């Protein structure tokens, strides 16, 4: 998977915690602990879910995958 600052900044609508936290982080902040990293990743997942949940989705829409017999 490719990801870059431009994708992070330009693709995910309404911005993400990732972009915001990068912009707000102190210049010389120590690296976050593993627990903090994990909580950050979970937070990003939650925000992605919230962004997706804003899309109106009729009950008739099925998932976009196909199974072949």
Partner 1 sequence: MAEIAPDIFFASISELNAKLRAKEFSCRELTKAFCDRIERIGPRYNALVLSLRKQAMSKAKDVDRELKRDRTRGPLQGIPYGVKDLLAVKKQPTTWGAKPYATQVFDYDAHIIERLNKVGAILIAKLSMVELAGGGDYRTAAASLTGPGLNPWDRTRWSGGSSSGPGAAVAAGLVSFAIGSETSGSILTPSAFCGLTGLRPTYGLVSRHGAMALSWTLDKLGPMCRSAEDCALVLHEIAGVDSDDPGSAGRSFNYTPQYTLRRLSEITIGYMPVDFQDGAEPSAQAAFRAAFDVIKSLGVKLKEIQLPELPYGALVGTIIAGEAGSIFEEFIRSGKVDQLADPHQIAGLKAMLDLPSTEYLRAMRVRSLVKAAFHDLFLNCDMILAPTRLGPANKVAEPLDTPGPPTKSRGGMIPGGNLAGLPAISLPCGFADGLPVAISLLGRPFYENQLIAIGNLFQKQTDWHRRRPPVEA
The binding site for partner 1 (CB under 8 A) comprises 1-13, 18-19, 22-23, 31-32, 34, 37-38, 40-42, 44-45, 47-49, 51-55, 57, 61-65, 68
* CA distances in angstroms from 17 to 12, 50, 59, 66, listed in the order given: 10, 12, 30, 33
Residue 17 CB, nearest distance to partner 1 (Å)? 11
Residue 23 CB, nearest distance to partner 1 (Å)? 6
What is the distance between the alpha carbons of residues 16 and 9, in angstroms, rounded to a whole number? 8
| Four-residue CA torsion sign, 14, 15, 21, 23 | negative
Q: Which C-beta is closer to partner 1: that of 4 or that of 28?
A: 4
Residue 26 CB, nearest distance to partner 1 (Å)? 14
């Amino acid at each position: 998977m490719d990801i870059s600052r431009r994708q992070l900044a330009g693709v995910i609508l309404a911005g993400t915690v990732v972009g915001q936290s990068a912009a707000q982080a102190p210049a010389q902040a120590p690296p976050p602990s593993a627990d903090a990293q994990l909580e950050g990743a979970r937070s990003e997942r939650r925000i992605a879910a919230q962004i997706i949940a804003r899309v109106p989705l009729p009950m008739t829409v099925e998932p976009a995958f196909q199974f072949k017999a």
